[in-house]
Amino acid sequence: MISKVLIANRGEIALRIIAACREAGLATVAVHSEADRESLHVRMADESVCIGPAYANASYLNVTAVIAAAEITGADAIHPGYGFLAENAHFAEIVEECGLTWIGPPPEAIRAMGDKANARRTVTERGVPVLPGSSEPVTSRDEAVTIAEEIGFPVILKASAGGGGKGMRVARDPRELRHVFDTARNEAEKAFGVGDVYLEKYLTAPRHIEVQVMADTHGKVVALGERECSIQRRHQKLIEEAPSPAVDAELREKMCEAAVAAAAAVGYVSAGTVEFLYNDGEFYFMEMNTRIQVEHPVTEEVTGMDLLMEQLRIAGGLALSIRKRPKMMGHAFEFRINAEDPVTFAPSPGTITELAFPVGPGVRVDTHIYRGYVVPPYYDSLIAKLVVRGPSRKEAIARARGALGMFLIGGVRTSIPLHLRIVDDPDFAAGRLSTAFMDRYAGRE
């Protein structure tokens, strides 16, 4: 069992983890950079340790500093949150070697899914559909063109070790493919130290639909249903919802089955997300995120489960609190409120001078900001998540419109005005979504 949890993160997720620990009766340790001294997670945790300067590489990404903080405070478990060290298999290994409990998946599972080409092969063997493409890294331009002509253009080159859009290149014809091949390899080499790239069929306007899974150490893996996250810009999700307007009971069954198979294939434990692209009635495995995700509250709202609490239970060796997939009740949205210009998306750090939260049934705000808080320029621009639940999608949208209008944040620019426009978009209202949805908002005004 665990008794004192160190939270290797900051911002809203650090607070969310502290809330779960408090409820579970666990002591908490916050770690923070010099820039986050005034952060709420520092104030709300039982203990706090400054682990480095503002620059994340020297603080939140500093493995030695985080472990040393656990040592000097006597913490016996580490929750990594999302981002930073959450998907660093090496860090997870060190945590375990130090005799601490890692609140997350086994390092081997992180590694197996972190290598994207390997993940693709592994899930294919379990019958999970993937986009047509190369099963091994592509080594030459000629080979790339041969495969591309077999599966049909457009195609996308992706870094095997990849993530975050780096090393990804789309090609519409053989000439373009020959042209971008070396660029993609070089970019992959620079970003990840490995130049391997693989090739996949490229879908121009698919839906992004993902399945939340949860697995315990007793071999039980359960899918908690899907979330649709098609509303993105530059591969960053903006709005997520559950259930997906494109998924019916039959499709849900198939996708959940595939997600459980993918997780089981790597011996998964704890919370994870299997991401799929959905196009013309077919879904394809994209990747697995081996961590709790930003958008986990959407699933919590429609299933009534507490995913963080579930992670703590699992880390303590307990069995999952459910035996089968819970029914999704009603409809939930998450709107990511970023400190950024709603039109240009330029970051907007600064002091929060005014703050009022929306109220009412089915309205939840996960945030770490307060009046007087200074949004530092060093980290992610996410400052709040507005989560809204309603009996139906239509009612949830109406509730979201009201809540967004009542959410006042002064001092920094936020994405709230952009969200207010999206909730009035006829395509959004009709559930006609795709990853190309935001193209119409790019560079407007």
Q: Does the footprint of other proteins cover residue 56 (CB under 8 A)?
A: no
Triad 317, 22, 223: Cα angle to 5°: 45
All residues at 6 or more sequence positions from 423 whose CB lies less than 8 Å from its CB, including other chains:
397, 400, 401, 404, 429
Which 132-161 positions form the footprint of other proteins (CB under 8 A)?
A: none
Rank residues 53 and 137 by Cβ distance to other proteins and give the closer one: 53
Rank residues 181 and 373 by Cβ distance to other proteins and give the closer one: 373
| Binder among 73, 289, 367, 434 for other proteins (CB under 8 A) | 73
**Sheet with 169-171, side-by-side order of all strands:** 169-171, 155-159, 197-201
Choose the binding region for other proteins from 62-70, 204-212, 219-227, 327-335 (rule: CB under 8 A).
62-70
- What is the size of the binding site for other proteins (CB under 8 A)? 23
**440 assigned to active site:** no
Kindly state the smallest distance separating residue 105's Cβ from other proteins, in Å: 23
Rank residues 36 and 196 by Cβ distance to other proteins and give the closer one: 36
Kindly state the smallest distance separating residue 369's Cβ from other proteins, in Å: 16
Closest of 323, 331, 128 to residue 247, by C-alpha: 331
Rank residues 42 and 266 by Cβ distance to other proteins and give the closer one: 42
Rank residues 330 and 350 by Cβ distance to other proteins and give the closer one: 350
Choose the binding region for other proteins from 45-53, 160-168, 207-215, 255-263 (rule: CB under 8 A).
45-53
Kindly state the smallest distance separating residue 53's Cβ from other proteins, in Å: 7
Omega cis (within 30) before 154: yes
Rank residues 53 and 132 by Cβ distance to other proteins and give the closer one: 53
- With contact defined as beta carbons under 8 Å apart, do 119 and 276 qualify? no
Q: Does the footprint of other proteins cover residue 248 (CB under 8 A)?
A: no
| Binder among 1, 3, 23, 72 for other proteins (CB under 8 A) | 72
| Binder among 5, 7, 14, 49 for other proteins (CB under 8 A) | 49
How far apart (Å, rounded) are the C-alpha atoms in residues 107 and 258? 22
How far apart (Å, rounded) are the C-alpha atoms in residues 333 and 246? 15
Owner of token pair 């949004």: 375
Q: Does the footprint of other proteins cover residue 7 (CB under 8 A)?
A: no
Select which of 10, 16, 111, 291 is catalytic: 291
Which 10-39 positions form the footprint of other proteins (CB under 8 A)?
A: 32, 34, 37-38
Rank residues 37 and 172 by Cβ distance to other proteins and give the closer one: 37
Which 77-96 positions form the footprint of other proteins (CB under 8 A)?
A: 94
Choose the binding region for other proteins from 16-24, 65-73, 293-301, 427-435 (rule: CB under 8 A).
65-73
Closest of 364, 305, 302, 296 to residue 332, by C-alpha: 302
Rank residues 63 and 406 by Cβ distance to other proteins and give the closer one: 63
Choose the binding region for other proteins from 1-9, 70-78, 130-138, 225-233 (rule: CB under 8 A).
70-78
**Sheet with 77-79, side-by-side order of all strands:** 47-52, 27-33, 4-7, 77-79, 101-102
Kindly state the smallest distance separating residue 20's Cβ from other proteins, in Å: 21
Kindly state the smallest distance separating residue 63's Cβ from other proteins, in Å: 8
Q: Does the footprint of other proteins cover residue 67 (CB under 8 A)?
A: yes
Q: Does the footprint of other proteins cover residue 212 (CB under 8 A)?
A: no
| Binder among 8, 13, 27, 42 for other proteins (CB under 8 A) | 42
Kindly state the smallest distance separating residue 101's Cβ from other proteins, in Å: 17
For the record, the structure tokens of 114 come out as 């972190």
For the record, the structure tokens of 293 come out as 């995700």
Kindly state the smallest distance separating residue 66's Cβ from other proteins, in Å: 9
Rank residues 73 and 414 by Cβ distance to other proteins and give the closer one: 73
Q: Does the footprint of other proteins cover residue 362 (CB under 8 A)?
A: no
| Binder among 50, 251, 309, 322 for other proteins (CB under 8 A) | 50
Where along the sequence are the contacts to other proteins (CB under 8 A)?
32, 34, 37-38, 42-43, 48-53, 59, 64-65, 67-69, 71-73, 94, 98
Active centre residues (catalytic): 291
